[in-house]
Each structure stands twice: as structure tokens, then as C-alpha cells.
């Protein structure tokens, strides 16, 4: 039978900090997650210029 993977969604909650991202990984692992998904963005790419 195929194992189902649990994916933890950290999003941008690391606030650009590698240390915070590592803490989120530890918490996700302690919670039983197999994978942690992160996101990054640049404000200039998501703001409409007038």
C-alpha cells in the first residue's frame, strides 16, 4: 500500500528568517509531518503600481 505523506504548510511565516524556518521544520516534524512547504515573495511583484 502507498504511504500517504503529510505536508505542513509553513507559507511565509518564517518572515525571511532561516532560524525561524528551521524552528517551523522542527515543530512540523514533531507533529508528524513528512514534508514542509515554504513560500517566498517580493513585495514589488505583488503590488500594483499607479
Task: Tell me the average pLDDT across 3-12.
Answer: 93
pTM of the predicted protein model: 0.72
Res 38: pLDDT: 92
Is pLDDT of 3 > 80? yes
Residue 25 and residue 34 in contact, taking contact as beta carbons nearer than 8 Å: no
Res 48: pLDDT: 72
- Report the distance separating Cα 40 and Cα 38, nearest Å: 7
Helix (H) or strand (E) holding 37: strand 35-38
* pLDDT tens sequence across 15-50: 888 999 999 999 999 999 999 999 887 777 667 777
Amino acid at each position: 500500500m502507498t504511504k500517504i505523506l503529510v505536508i505542513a504548510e509553513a507559507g511565509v511565516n518564517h518572515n525571511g528568517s532561516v532560524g525561524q524556518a528551521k524552528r517551523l521544520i522542527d515543530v512540523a516534524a514533531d507533529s508528524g509531518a513528512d514534508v514542509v512547504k515554504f513560500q517566498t515573495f517580493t513585495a514589488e511583484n505583488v503590488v500594483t503600481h499607479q
